[in-house]
């Protein structure tokens, strides 16, 4: 059984999961970005950096034995609520952790009064795109701040009916 737990951005388990995600993303995207202008790379890195002041909460998926399996962050992005940094460890994929994390992220956004929640993913993450489509997310145009440095992104939104 997977337990969902809201934690602070700096929770060590979340920090470790995000580091794992960084390694995986570097493997997927690193060589593709090697020949580009360093200024473009620096701007993309800036855009992808999550300011802890914008984070509403981080959410962990935890196994029965207390092992953290996955993470998602919920943050403010201008007037929107955005989900960021979704990762589920490869050994735990396909067991419902990502779906549970998305559902909790959506609930946090709803609690914040958001009418919808948005997210961005990359073109080299087809399993993420498939997950979002399977769980009812609608593809939308690439939005700021990703449009300038990552126009190949896939962006999604999901309407949040009120829980009342």
Q: What is the mean pLDDT of each run of 10 residues along the chain (164 residues)?
A: 97 96 83 73 86 97 96 97 96 93 98 97 93 97 93 96 71
Asked, for residue 146, whether it belongs to a domain, the answer is yes
pLDDT of res. 162: 76
Asked, for residue 46, whether it belongs to a domain, the answer is yes
Asked, for residue 124, whether it belongs to a domain, the answer is yes
Asked, for residue 79, whether it belongs to a domain, the answer is yes
Asked, for residue 164, whether it belongs to a domain, the answer is no
Residues of the domain holding 146: 3-159
pLDDT of res. 164: 56
The region that residue 68 occupies, defined by phi over 0 for left and psi between -120 and 50 for alpha, beta otherwise, is: beta
Domain total for the chain?
Answer: 1
Query: What is the reported pTM?
Result: 0.91
| Gap between the Cα atoms of 13 and 127, Å rounded | 23
CATH number at residue 75: 3.40.630.30
Asked, for residue 23, whether it belongs to a domain, the answer is yes
* Inter-residue contact 107 to 148 (CB < 8 Å): no
| Alpha carbon separation from 77 to 13, 47, 55, 98 (Å, rounded) | 24, 11, 9, 22
pLDDT of res. 157: 99
| Tokens 């009120």 sit on residue | 162
Burial of residue 81, with CB atoms counted within 10 A of its CB: 0-12 exposed, 13-18 middle, 19 or more buried: buried
Asked, for residue 126, whether it belongs to a domain, the answer is yes
């Amino acid at each position: 059984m997977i337990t969902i737990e809201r934690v602070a951005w700096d929770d060590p388990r979340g920090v470790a999961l995000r580091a794992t995600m960084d390694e995986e993303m570097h493997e997927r995207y690193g060589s593709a970005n090697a020949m580009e202008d360093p200024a473009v790379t620096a701007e993309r890195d800036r855009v992808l950096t999550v300011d802890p002041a914008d984070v509403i909460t981080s959410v962990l998926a935890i196994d029965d034995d207390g092992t953290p399996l996955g993470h998602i962050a919920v943050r403010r992005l201008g007037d929107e609520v955005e989900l960021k940094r979704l990762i589920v460890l490869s050994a735990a994929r396909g067991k419902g952790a990502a779906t549970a994390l998305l559902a909790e992220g959506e609930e946090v956004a709803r609690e914040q009064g958001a009418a919808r929640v948005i997210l961005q993913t990359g073109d080299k993450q087809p399993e993420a795109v498939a997950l979002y489509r399977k769980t009812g997310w609608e593809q939308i145009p690439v939005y700021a701040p990703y449009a300038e440095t990552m126009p190949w992104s896939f962006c999604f939104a999901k309407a949040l009916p009120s829980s009342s």
